[in-house]
Amino acid sequence: MKRRVLALLLASIMILALGLSGCASTSSEPVATEPAAETSEPTTEPVQEPVTVSFWHGYTPEKTEVLDEMIARYQAANPTVTIDARFVASGEEMLQKVQAALLSGEEPNMLWGYPTWTGVLASSGKLVNLGAAMDSEWKADLPEGILNAGKFEGDVYSVPIEAGTLYLIYNKDMFAEAGIENPPTTWDELYEDAKLLTKGEQYGVWLPIEPNERTSWTWETFLWQNNGELLNSDSTNIGFNTPEGLEALEFYTGLVKDGYSPTAIGQDPFLDQQAAMIYGTQGAAKAYITKYEMNVGVAMLPGNKTQATALGSNHYFMFKSDEAVEQATLDFMKWMTTGENHAEWAIRTGYLPVSESARTSERYQKFGEENPYMIEAAKALTMGQARPPIEEYPKLSNVLSSTIEKIVYDEMTAEEGMAKIQKEADSIFK
Amino acid sequence: MNKNKLTPYLLIAPTFVLFTIFFLFPLFYSFSLTFVEWNGFAIDKTFVGFSNYLRLFEDEDFINALKNTITYALLTVPLSVSISLVLSYILDEKVKGFQALKGIFFLPHIVSLVAVGVVWSWIYLPDKYGLLNVILGFFGIEIHQWLHDPDMALISLVIIGVWKSIGYNMVIFIAGLVAIPKSLYEAAEIDGAQGLQRFVYITLPLLKPTIFFVMVSSTIYSLFQIFDIVKVTTNGGPIGRTEMLVTYLYKVGFTNYEMGYASAIAFVLFAITVLITIVQKKFIEEK
């Protein structure tokens, strides 16, 4: 009996030990194997500790291929550095992964993400103040507006890597059929054209109404075109509970309620030829033109009181670690965001280049001549407004988009909707 | 003698250790979170007492989600239980191809919910884009929107829920049916009982414990686990008509980053589930 108990005790200890060692080995694996692979290549560099930078991103497989190619080139030039880049999650889901990683201390050194995350990420206290770490030449190379998109409580916590703006993508065939020559440039023209283009199962324009960030983002362009502001001057509450804001809300929901924009969509309303116009990024336009070979035109968004569009950018964040890793991460970030390398990245992925040195590079100039729609997009970039990188933005965006949906489905009027947004904003910004 | 008593504890030790780490600890930890305000990132948590619970009473979205969840359970559970009971009763009468049919009915249960959700969201696409509309159109029935129509969305989800759970319920019912002695049916037949009478006076009373089990587990299932399908198909829309308690608490926790409030919702959901189970048990016992 005694021996049996002893055996069981031993067995359970072994199971536990196995479990623990299993956990331990998985976390140390990448560090242990990758520098080893590195040493198999002939290195002539003086003795320097090999450094591994873990990098989480959310790129599509095609973009990941380009990224891997560029990383290989960077590593060839910097043999002691290994960039361990991996796809973790796309879009907003990345933030959830990072949250879990931060709590367990498994966060990456470098993170690709949206500047709207800055507030929550900074509250962890583990984010590196990149504005202080970047040299002045690098900072001057980046447009202030985009750099400030990652600003939180006075500090810049991220480096922009990609930019995009919303602009009008339209189906030239449908326009010709409806007898419209030029894309709309004002709200009135947008309304008239949408009316002309709507027939049967075809709609004039697609303005999203689902409760998500895309809806808020699209509506914000209407607000800005109407000289409205998302936040008040000291960012302590919303700034669009004004006649301008209400007008933007009424116009947007009106287009949907009057039946010129679909409330239910298939997989892709533009590709399915369900809508003649959509508000999309240059990346989407590129796909429609080159991948699906549609007869597509692009134009600035129709304005009202002024011309405006939404500026979206993806940024690199850095989490605190030891100095050598932070230095290597910073160096790789600079390599990716400036000069010819950045031009190559922008051209091959379809994003707009952010740094001046990339835009003026020979390579990009030549590319612009061959692809005029990218130049149109670059023009829009100068009119772009960024979303505020405040901690409250995700909540505000939720309230905004779900209210738009309720107005469209006649649950409330635009005035009641605005009152609801104000009421919820009061508790968000308390 | 003492050592003999120790053996079972040692046997369950490995499981219990894991249970403590991955179940008990998170349970108590999330309970402690219901009293704080925390975004899940920050180093410091703010103690707020019971305000997370008090907030529930004023939260229209929470009340809406509660209403939807209960409606969903009220529609799905009786439908699923009655359909699977009838189907298993028919199958029990030695239908040809019994095993194959059982397999076909059970199949939806083992398919991943996310995959099911994606496929159904394609089936439910609006107008001419969806498979279901094409098929219904062939028979002259015109329904334009499913998941996008505020009045149809929840019903669409109920259809998926019933389809998904029938197979599992059937397996339990068939096991219960097999346990009923055949001699009872033979005796009833001699006394002149018809098919329906046999079902009502023999099958139903003897199957009561099984029915109770299936009802409780389906209710808990539709309260607690109606998440994946909603997340993939409607994400709570349109206008919140398919927002469930679990999807709402997920949004509060992982879109709005209010961990404390989300934990409070989770514990209210837990309380509701326990309550419903007790009521169901009382109800069945009294009958």
Are the beta carbons of B132 and B147 closer than 8 angstroms? no
**Percent of chain A with pLDDT strictly greater than 90:** 48
Instruction: Give domain A165-312+388-428's CATH number out of 3.30.1360.70, 3.30.70.270, 3.90.1150.10, 3.40.190.10.
Output: 3.40.190.10
pLDDT of residue B287: 55
Q: Give, in order, the Cα–Cα distances in Å from B103 to each of B94, B98, B106, B196, B259.
A: 15, 9, 5, 27, 42
Residue A378 has pLDDT above 80, yes or no: no
C-alpha angle A68-A74-A79 in degrees, rounded to nearest 5: 115
Minimum CA–CA partner of A393 in chain B: B256
| Band of pLDDT at residue A404, cut at 50, 70 and 90 | very high
- Taking CA atoms, B54 is separated from A46, B17, B37, B240, in Å, by 64, 35, 13, 22
Query: Taking a C-beta distance cutoff of 8 angstroms, is the pair A312, A400 a contact?
Result: no
Q: How many angstroms separate the CA atoms of A49 and A177, rounded?
A: 66
Between B113-123 and B153-178, two packed helices, what is the crossing angle to 10 degrees?
A: 130
Strand partners, A170: A277, A297
Closest among A202, A69, A204, A149 to A354, alpha carbons compared: A149
Cβ–Cβ below 8 Å for B145 and A96? no
Q: Which of A5, A92, A212 sits opposite B10 (nearest CB)?
A: A5
Q: What percent of chain B has pLDDT over 70?
A: 97
Provide the whole-model pTM. 0.76
What are phi and psi for residue A203, nearest 5 degrees? -110, 155
pLDDT digits (tens, 9 = 90+) for A105-123: 899 999 999 988 888 898 8
Contact A114, A58 (CB under 8 A): no
Say if the Cβ atoms of A264 and B14 lie within 8 Å. no
Q: Is the pLDDT of residue A364 over 60?
A: yes
Judge whether residue B211 has pLDDT over 60: yes
The C-alpha atoms of residue A79 and residue B19 are separated, in whole angstroms, by: 46
Find the residue in A nearest to B131 (Cα): A266
More confident site: A223 or A263 = A223
Q: Which residues of B touch A402 (CB under 8 A)?
A: 239-240
CATH code of A50-163+313-384, in short, is 3.40.190.10
C-alpha to C-alpha distance for A365 and A359, rounded to whole angstroms: 7
The answer to whether the complex's ipTM is over 0.85 is: no
The CA R_g of chain A, rounded to the nearest whole Å, is: 25
CA distance A405 to chain B (A): 6
Residues 6+ apart with CB under 8 A from A399: A420, A421, A424, A425, A428
| Chain B residues inside the 8 Å CB shell of A124 | 41-43
Q: Distance (Å) from the C-alpha of residue B90 to the closest C-alpha of chain A?
A: 40
d(CA A103, CA B252): 18
Q: Which of B6, B15, B41 is the best mutation test for A, with the most CBs of A within 10 A? A: B41
* pLDDT score for A25: 38
**Per-domain boundaries in chain A:** 50-163+313-384, 165-312+388-428
How far apart are the CA of B166 and the nearest CA of chain A, in angstroms? 29
A315, A158 contact by CB (below 8 A):
yes
Rounded Cα gap, residues B219 and A12, in angstroms? 37
What's the maximum distance between 2 C-alpha atoms anywhere in chain A? 94
Q: Give the pLDDT confidence score for residue A315 in this predicted structure.
A: 93
* Collapsed DSSP state (helix, strand, coil) of residue B261: helix
Q: What is the mean pLDDT of residues B229-236?
A: 86
In this predicted structure, the answer to whether residue A223 has a pLDDT above a threshold of 90 is yes
Report the 3 state secondary structure along chain A.
CHHHHHHHHHHHHHHHHHHHHHHHHHHHHHHHHHHHHHHCCCCCCCCCCCEEEEEEECCCHHHHHHHHHHHHHHHHHCCCEEEEEEECCCCCHHHHHHHHHHHHCCCCCEEEECHHHHHHHHCCCCECCHHHHCCHHHHHHCCHHHHHCCEECCEECEEEEEEEECEEEEEHHHHHHCCCCCCCCEHHHHHHHHHHHCECCEEEEECCCCCCHHHHHHHHHHHHHCCCCCECCCCCCECCCCHHHHHHHHHHHHHHHCCCCCCCCCCCCCCCCCEEEEEECHHHHHHHHHHCCCCEEEECCCECCCCCEEEEEEEEEEECCCHHHHHHHHHHHHHHHCHHHHHHHHHHHCCECCCHHHHCCHHHHHHHHHCHHHHHHHHHHCCEEECCCCCCHHHHHHHHHHHHHHHHCCCCCHHHHHHHHHHHHHHHCC
How much is the pLDDT for A84? Answer: 94
Cα(B223)–Cα(B217) distance, integer angstroms: 10
A96 contact residues in B (CB cutoff 8 A): 254
User: Does residue A6 carry a pLDDT above 60?
Assistant: no
Q: How far apart are CA A334 and CA A142, in angstroms?
A: 11
List pLDDT tens digits, range B70-126.
899 999 999 999 999 988 888 876 677 777 888 888 888 888 888 888 999 889 888
Q: What is the pLDDT of residue A42?
A: 43
Nearest chain A Cα to B259, which residue?
A99
Q: Do A409 and B7 touch (CB under 8 A)?
A: no
The whole-angstrom separation of Cα A122 and Cα A59 is 23
Pairing of strands A158-165, A203-206: unpaired
Chain A residue with minimum CA distance to B118? A267
Residue A170 has pLDDT above 90, yes or no: yes
Do residue B129 and residue A272 have CB atoms under 8 angstroms apart?
yes
Give the pLDDT score at A101.
Answer: 92
Give residue B147's pLDDT.
86
Question: Whose CA is closest to A317, among A159, A89, A164?
Answer: A159
pLDDT of residue B100: 84
Domain B34-286 -> CATH class? mainly alpha
Tell me which chain A residues have a C-beta less than 8 angstroms from the C-beta of B235. Answer: 210-212
Contact A364, A353 (CB under 8 A): yes
Rg, chain B, Cα only: 23
- C-alpha to C-alpha distance for A260 and A209, rounded to whole angstroms: 13
Residue for token pair 């583990």: A126
pLDDT over 70 at A72, yes or no? yes
pLDDT at A7 over 60: no
Q: Which of A406, A135, A189 lies closest to A301 in space, CA to CA? A: A189
What are the chain A neighbours of B251 within 8 Å (beta carbons)?
398
Question: Which residue shows structure tokens 């149809």?
Answer: B152
Q: Report residue A2's pLDDT band, with 50, 70 and 90 as the boundaries.
A: low
Least confident of A24-28, A96-100, A104-108, A216-220: A24-28
Residue A210 at interface with chain B, using a CB cutoff of 8 Å? yes
Chain B hits for A394, Cβ within 8 Å: 255-257
**Contact: B41, A124; criterion CB under 8 Å:** yes
Pair of tokens at residue A77: 């030039």
Distance of CA A299 to the CA centre of its chain: 21
Q: What is the pLDDT of residue B132?
A: 87
User: Could you report the per-residue pLDDT of A48-62, keeping only the tens digit for each?
Assistant: 689 999 999 999 898
Q: What mean pLDDT, rounded, does chain B reach?
A: 87
A102 CB neighbours in chain B (<8 A) are 41
How distant is the Cα of A114 from the closest Cα of chain B, in angstroms? 14
Residues B195, B150 contacting (CB under 8 angstroms) = no
pLDDT for residue A413: 94
Q: Hey, is B42 helix, strand or coil?
A: coil
A311 has which bridge partners? A165, A386
Residue in B with minimal Cα distance to A405: B239
Assess whether pLDDT exceeds 70 at residue A284: yes
Mean predicted confidence (pLDDT) in B193-218 = 86
Query: Is A201 within 8 Å of chain B by CB?
Result: yes
